[in-house]
């Protein structure tokens, strides 16, 4: 069975690989895509998402732009990792169809129209759109089947602050709203994603299909030391969605740092924290094999 999903994203190099897998693998029925400011700002995120749809000849999938700013804070970005264009010079086709505004409203309308629990949300960027959906359309948000979000860190050092991860540091208030909501939620933190990396031989072996060629170009641009890629954070969301048996998930109670220090957005285990499933272990060879099989 294919999973019916909405992809909420801010592409971004690793986001792009995740989206290509979702588009090419045949494992997802993508109801639509929504964009959020995160890695590179809303305009470029939306353009890149539209370019990926055009490259895969999927202009039939609706694309909606969403939050331009965090709920309460100034925006941060990850241009140092992803480049000014978000893809470090990898060229995508021009969008085949324009994006529309109103991501949150469209998500709400879609969730209310479809059977409750029938649509999952795969969240690859800061959860600002998700938090707005929960706050502004609680009845619609309650109909989400499974929310899988990349973000946070539990025992690993952070990549934004000493103990904070970029997506969650981008909008801590949105994270707190997401974790408090009565929605089946699984987060995938750096504890897992940092283990999943592709070496150059793996990358070159992806070539031979449209998705594989683009993913290989992106991953070459994403190499950290000319030998292996930076962590494949966002593909882990798609991989857990289709093969949860490849991940070890723990039930934790987590609180979010809502301060103004360097670790805003950091997660800590607390007795009174929000209950959430957290992926803490991963079968790396198996998930890399699955990722390659969906791109080739």
User: Catalytic residues, which ones?
Assistant: 233
Residue ranges in the chain assigned as alpha helix (H): 13-24, 42-55, 79-82, 103-113, 128-136, 138-141, 166-170, 172-180, 190-193, 200-204, 210-221, 235-242, 284-295
Q: Mapping DSSP to helix (H, G, I), strand (E, B) and coil, where does residue 215 land? A: helix
Q: Cα(152)–Cα(155) distance, rounded to whole angstroms?
A: 10
Render the burial of 24-61: b for 16+ CB within 10 Å, e for the rest. Answer: bbebbebbbbbbbbbbbbbebbbbbbbbbbbbbebeeb
DSSP state of 199: B
Strand arrangement of the beta sheet that strand 119-123 belongs to? 100-101, 63-65, 28-35, 3-9, 119-123, 144-150, 185-188, 274-282, 247-256, 267-269
Residue 79: both structure tokens together: 């241009």
β-strand 185-188 against 247-256: which pairing, if any?
Answer: unpaired
Quickly tell me which residue has 């991860």 as its tokens: 165
User: Degrees (nearest 5) of the Cα angle 6, 11, 147?
Assistant: 30
Q: Cα(229)–Cα(169) distance, rounded to whole angstroms?
A: 23
Please provide residue 292's backbone torsions phi and psi, each rounded to the nearest 5 degrees. Answer: -65, -40
């Amino acid at each position: 069975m294919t999973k019916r999903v909405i992809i909420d994203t801010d592409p971004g190099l690793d986001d792009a690989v995740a989206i290509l897998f979702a588009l090419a693998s045949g494992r997802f029925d993508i109801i639509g895509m929504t964009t959020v400011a995160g890695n590179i700002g809303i305009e470029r995120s939306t353009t890149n998402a539209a370019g990926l749809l055009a490259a895969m000849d999927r202009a039939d999938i609706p694309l909606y732009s969403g939050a331009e700013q965090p709920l309460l804070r100034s925006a941060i970005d990850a241009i140092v990792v992803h480049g000014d264009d978000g893809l470090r010079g990898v060229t995508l086709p021009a969008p085949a169809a324009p994006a529309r505004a109103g991501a949150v409203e469209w998500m709400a309308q879609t969730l209310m129209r479809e059977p409750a629990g029938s649509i999952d949300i795969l969240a690859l960027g800061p959860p600002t759109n998700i938090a707005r959906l929960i706050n502004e359309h609680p009845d619609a948000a309650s109909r989400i089947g499974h929310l899988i979000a990349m973000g946070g860190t539990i025992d690993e050092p952070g990549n934004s602050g000493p103990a904070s991860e970029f997506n969650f540091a981008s909008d801590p208030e949105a994270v707190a709203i997401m974790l408090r909501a009565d929605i089946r939620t699984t987060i995938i933190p750096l504890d897992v994603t940092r283990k999943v990396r592709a070496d150059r031989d793996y990358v070159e072996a992806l070539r031979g299909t449209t998705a594989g060629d683009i993913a290989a170009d992106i991953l070459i641009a994403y190499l950290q030391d000319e030998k292996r890629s930076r962590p494949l954070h966002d593909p882990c969301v798609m991989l857990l969605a289709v093969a949860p048996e490849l991940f070890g998930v723990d039930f934790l109670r987590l609180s979010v740092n809502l301060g103004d220090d360097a670790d805003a957005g950091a997660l800590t285990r607390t007795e009174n924290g929000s209950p959430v499933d957290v992926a803490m272990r991963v079968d790396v060879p198996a998930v890399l094999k699955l990722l390659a099989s969906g791109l080739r």
